[in-house]
Each structure stands twice: as C-alpha cells, then as structure tokens.
Chain A
C-alpha cells in the first residue's frame, strides 16, 4: 500500500520531468527510468509477463533507440514557443474531469473474461493463460502485431536507404571479452524464457527482446554478428509472420477455422510459432536500433 503510493508519486514526478525538461538527453534518461518504474508497477498489478516485456522493450530497447537517434536530430526543430493560455488549461481540465468520471464509472462494472479463458485452457495446448490468449484465443491479433512490427521496420529501412549497414562501433578488449562471455548466457536466458512461456510468465515477446539485446551487444563490440546480405537473415525477419499465417491457413483446411488449431496438436503448433516469432522479433528489434546508429564512415572520412 505504502509502496504503491511511493511508486505512483515517483512515476508522476518522472513523467512530469520527462515532458517538462528542455534537455533532450535528460528527457530520454528520465524516460528509461520511468519505464523501469512502470515495469515494477506491472509486477504489483499481477502482470509479470507484461513487466518482463516492459523492462526489456519499453525501458531497454526504447532507450537504445532514442539515444542512437538523439545526436542526429537538430537541437530544436521549430522556433515557435508554446504559450499557455487559459483556453488550453480549461480544455485540459475538462478532459481530465471527463476521463476521471470515466475511470470512476468503469470501476463499478467488473467484467472479467478470465472464467472463459480458464474454461477453455485445457484445449489451448498451453497452461499459462496469457500465452493461451496470445497464441490461441486471440492469435490473429498477435499475427497482425508481428505484421505491424515488420511493416514499421520496412518503412524505417526505406527512410534510411543507403546507410543500412553502417553502425557506430565501440572498440576495446574489455568490451569484446565481456560480450563474448555474456552472449551465450543471454541466449540461454532467451531460450529459457521461450520454453517457460507455455506454463508460466514468459514467451515469444520477452524472449525476442532478450535476443535483440544479445545481437546488439555483438554488433556494438564489432564481433562477427549476422550478415545483412545473407538470405537466411531475410528469411528470419519475415519468418514470424509467414509461419503464423501458414499455420493459420492450415487450421482452415483442418476444419478448425482460420487461426484455429485442433486441440490435440495445439501445443506443438504454438511452440513452433513462438520459436520462429521470437527469432523474428529479436532480429526486427535489433535491426530497428542498428539502422538508427550514426553512420561511422560518414562522420570520419
């Protein structure tokens, strides 16, 4: 209870600092800290799956992405300064009141889909309810989400066409040795998260985010990572969406409907989809950050 209060005050103060400060570097650092605090809140709200994803993606990868882009953006993109007016503040206040009213009224109607989820859990092929919802009951949402990730990566890649392979490398023997020692451990954590996902918190997203961190470490330490020209990498990037939809179509032929699996085979299909999806998510997230890295060749001719 006291912990909840302290967390909420900290989060609100950090969010305020993040949007108020004029120093962009500070805003990013506060944003990363805010992500970690929010991950703590998710554990308080009995959502360990979301907490894992938030800590790895929301705080970790978002921070790397923002810092990689910071130095390549102009100091101030527009000269127009915003002046607060009473009209804006009153609109803001009215919106706040309306949202407050909505939040209060929604509390009085406790609707839970959990009984339904638990009733169908034995047919889903996994024993962890969140994984069952993601990969079985609402599989189409997850497949489309992978498609969104792929689409965002393609759009980003086309915006930076030309300096795709460039990245800012960090040299140093200590870094290289540390990365060499950490890499197998991080991959092991990723596989563990994936495997545990069927019965307890974890799964493709968390595993993919950890894999992305492992690849980024390799690239940053200038160790031989993956070659962008290789066909296998392109297949890896597309694999998640492709396998998901193929398995979905297979369900159609087997009479279980699009994105449905027969109950006795569900476990195997989910494991296949999750493994390929984790690989794709890891590659896509890592390349999103890498594409944003400053072009080292251009800066020092």
Chain B
C-alpha cells in the first residue's frame, strides 16, 4: 500500500519539478527544480523495488549511483551559472 502512496508522490515531485523548471527565472532555482524531478525518479525506482520482500537491490544500487551523479551535475551547473554571471558583468572578459 505504501508503494502506491510513494509512487504517486514520485509523480507529484516530477510534475512540481517540471513546473519549477519552466516557471522560475533564476538558474539556481531551475537547478533545484531539476533535482526535485530527479528525486521523483529515484522515489519511483525505490518504490518499485520495495514491492518485493526483501527489497530489490539492483534499483537501490542504481539510485545510489544516481545520487552521486546528481550532485556532480549540480556542482557543474552552479559553476556554469557563475561563469555566465561573470561574463554578463564584464562582456570584454576573454
């Protein structure tokens, strides 16, 4: 039963994240929205894994990998945003 609740929550997170990605006009908040969408995907994977007893280890390992990739993407996104901001301040730069 809780699998259903969390599957629907995953759906909600993806939709909220998509809304934030389109609506917000600051890059940082758009990155946060992408991460919210990612959390939704992770939640669906883990909810599906929890249907079995014991829970399926393969999706869990996938999500563990995904979390590290997500933080790498976040760090790179923030670095690109800052570079873009410094370019906007001073267009003659490089």
Interface set of A (CB-CB < 8 Å, partner B): 1, 4-5, 8, 11-12, 15-16, 18-20, 24, 27-28, 31, 34, 38, 41-42, 44-47, 49-50, 53-54, 57-58, 61-62, 65-66, 69-70, 72-74, 76-78, 80-82, 84, 88, 92, 95-96, 99-100, 103, 106-107, 110, 112-114, 117, 129-130, 132-134, 138, 141-142, 145, 148-149, 151-153, 155-156, 159-160, 205, 281, 285, 288-289, 291-292
Contacts and interface: CB of A to CB of B under 8 A. Distances in A.
B27 A77 contact: yes
B51 A69 contact: no
Contacts of A152: 72-73, 75-76
A152 B69 CA distance: 9
A46 B54 contact: yes
B67 A24 contact: no
A47 B46 contact: yes
Contact of A15 (B1, B16, B63, B68): B16
Interface string B65-86: 1011111111110111111110
Q: Closest 5 interchain pairs by CB?
A: A19-B20, A152-B72, A129-B57, A133-B61, A46-B55
A130 B57 contact: yes
Contact of B68 (A34, A107, A149, A156): A149
A133 to B, nearest CB: 4
